[in-house]
Structure 1
Amino acid sequence: MLDPIMHREGEPEILAGRKLAARVAGVYIAPEDHFVTQAVETLPLGFEGIAGDVHAGYTRRSGGREPWYPRGTEMRNERQLSIIAPDEMAIVAERMGLAEIKPEWIGANLTLDGVPMLSMLPAGTMLFFKGGVTIKIDGQNAPCRVAGRSIAEHAGMTDHDAGSLLFPKVSRRLRGLVGWVEKPGVIAAGEEVSVRVPEQWIYRA
């Protein structure tokens, strides 16, 4: 009888899960009618996400990211929160010739310090906050022109159209992550976070 744990010929290599430590560098909320966020001391979360935030809701309407549905189709909201890393935003700012890109400009809700290559964390990664909140990562947040234009306007770029086009080009796989609330509660700036990366493999069959 074959040992089910043994690696079979032709199977993908499986990388073991691991734990990382992080810290909340900042928390932000966007008004219901606006993309740009504002810094706050604490971030109350329910199962619907951030109450009053533009991306709050149990469901959302499909858009350009979901070409398999007619635009506007109601679907589960797996994009309740936008999570970015300050070090990755510093790289993007340099590529755009800017001194900085503030989290608020691109609608971020959370900034996390301490995780190398945050944007490359796989789907299914769990964020366990010391205060009790759990967030599950859905995947990378694809950069868009809306965020690019916001950066161009706030940074005082002379050509807003050029800025809106440049951001998606230079921030690919650096734009951060989107996730949803698995266990509600309150997140505070400075809070410790346990990052649990799941087993990973590449399916090639």
Structure 2
Amino acid sequence: MLDLFPEAENPVEIIPARKLAAQVTALYVAASDHFETRSVDELLLGFSGIDGDFHAGMTRRSGGREPWYPRGTEMRNERQLSVVAADELAIVAGRMGIAEIRPEWIGANLLIEGLPHLSMLPSGTLLFFKGGVTIKVDAQNGPCRIAGRSVAENAGMADHETGALLFPKVAKRLRGLVAWVEKPGRITTGEEISVRVPEQWIYRA
């Protein structure tokens, strides 16, 4: 087989794909007019995400995360779902000096257990739910001041603005993931998940 990357010319470390297992701990949905979520027993997913959810839609409007577009530009919605892990939220809570951070406060849709370093799963990771749903990871969910203010208010911090500013600093790479629906259907609490992490490499020009 032809070696496309001769070691002497352009060394590239390629990490093989792998399979992992996880489980749904809790599910949440947001009202259409606010990003904070509430607990539910199941999620019904279509190609637009969760019907009626704050982040549902085939497209969305660009914001501060997309400075290459004028704010409000219509673009593909790759942020239909927010996925978090309890162990990572506990670390962030400790850094903020509060007892806990509940997934609802930061607009999470899925709380998952069994995956170490959830927020570090690479783009393209596929989550196959036992009931038939498949979602695909787009990227890490960058922490923002809006979520930070929600945490500060719900946790009863004395200074909400300080909490809003602190959260983006201490939650970096611990805020979970955003994902979109590749295969629709129903997800239930306690459901098993087969996780397929794609082959990975570091691109060097």
Q: Report TM bin, short chain.
A: over 0.9
Counterpart amino acid of 2:115?
V
Counterpart amino acid of 1:4?
L
Q: Deviations over 1:84-113 (max 9, x none)?
A: 000000000011111110000000000110
Q: Report what 2:46 is aligned to.
A: 46
Aligned length in residues: 203
Question: 1:1-205 maps to which residues of 2 (within 5 A)?
Answer: 3-4=1-2, 8-9=6-7, 10-205=10-205
Q: CA RMSD in A?
A: 0.9
SS at match of 2:64: coil
Structure 1: 4+ residue segments shifted above 6 A = none
SS at match of 2:27: strand
- Give the TM-score normalised by structure 2: 0.97
Counterpart amino acid of 1:202?
I
Aligned-residue offset at 1:4 = 2.6
Q: Deviations over 1:148-188 (max 9, x none)?
A: 00000000001000000000000000000000000000101
Q: Deviations over 1:125-163 (max 9, x none)?
A: 000000000000000000000000000000000100000
SS at match of 1:66: coil
Q: Deviations over 1:59-87 (max 9, x none)?
A: 00000000111100000000000000000
Q: Sequence identity of aligned pairs in percent?
A: 70
Q: What residue ranges of structure 2 are gaps of 5+ in the alignment? A: none
Q: Which has the higher strand share?
A: 2
Q: What residue ranges of structure 1 are gaps of 5+ in the alignment? A: none
Aligned-residue offset at 1:6 = 7.8
Distance of 2:110 and 2:12 partners within structure 1: 34
Aligned-residue offset at 1:34 = 0.8
Counterpart amino acid of 1:75?
M
Distance of 1:107 and 1:36 partners within structure 2: 4
Counterpart amino acid of 1:126?
L
- Give the TM-score normalised by structure 1: 0.97
Aligned-residue offset at 1:11 = 3.2
Counterpart amino acid of 2:135?
I
Aligned-residue offset at 1:35 = 1.2
